[in-house]
A and B are shown apart, each in its own frame.
Chain A
Amino acid sequence: MNIEKIDHILKEHEYNHSAIISIMQDVQGIENYLPEDTLRYISEKLELKLTRIFDIATFYKTFSLTPRGRHTIRVCSGTACHLGGAVKNLEQIQRTINIQEGETTDDRMFSLETVNCLGACALAPVMVIDEDYYDAVNPGDIKKILSSYHSEPER
């Protein structure tokens, strides 16, 4: 845990209880997930019950209590993407890297998530890996797309 950075985030939000969601978003931004010791630290510093923090961490989809992979694959499951075959793409990804939605590969290379709608419906079906968008994806493209991340040097 980087206490200095966490303290900075808390200070920026003026130790405000109502800013807890933003605080957790910022913490996840630097830690890649929400480690338990960090949440305990925030709870003490803010004098905010740990149960409330965990309630928020488990209620909102964006938060993760487990470490995520180096690359996050987000498959859009909006209506237009669903119609365009998002499920088939998702299944092909699952077959290729052998994990289910919400899981991370053993080598911590990929985490797989679905997202309600990325608002890029005109490009359906869409998937995003980190910040890279892939539009009009079909199951036949998956292997090639994923393997390009394997050959990439660590970022």
Chain B
Amino acid sequence: MTQLEPVVRTGSELDDIESLVRTYRPRLLRFVTFSIGDADLAESITQDCFLKAYNSRANFRGDCSVNTWLTSIALNLIRDQQRLQKFRFWRQARATAIDITDAASFLPSNESSPESRVLVKEKAGQVQAALEHLSPNQRTVFLMRFAEEMDLAEIAAVTRMPINTVKTHLHRALKSVRAQVGSMPGNLAADHHSIAAEAGHADDSERRSSR
């Protein structure tokens, strides 16, 4: 009886399309937008995704979260779109550009210093640029893991890939993004050495005190 409660709750959640859209649209729109790289098309797909979810809400079994379920519907629509684009010779020469850098000024004010905002904006822009160089599968699993914060099992279930394949895609995507963002290896190495030096001094002092 207690197991049915979440299903009933999500069932009623799915019945109210307005609240469904209000709650989940930002995350879903982000996933679709950065998966396909076209803001206008992403809005259309997100809209379709909600309507499809609403129409087939009876099929939702409640064995995953609503967000995961919506993401899986969105992923199917994205794949349909990509398949369609492959055969559409009159496809648009350039997709509607996404500019997220101005959104940094709308971030929550816990990081209020201008320096940190500039840094956040810069890093976000670098990751966004790096996403364009990933394959569709790598981009999908990367966004699911680092934007949607889904765990590996959820990603495997939604993408219908074996979990080891998901891991492989994630490793490659992360390597590529870290290489493009660039700051990590060099800066980290520098930080690493400074901290290692400190740790070495502490080790030496421990030895001296033990003697």
A binds B: no
Q: Which residues of A line the B interface, CB within 8 A?
A: none
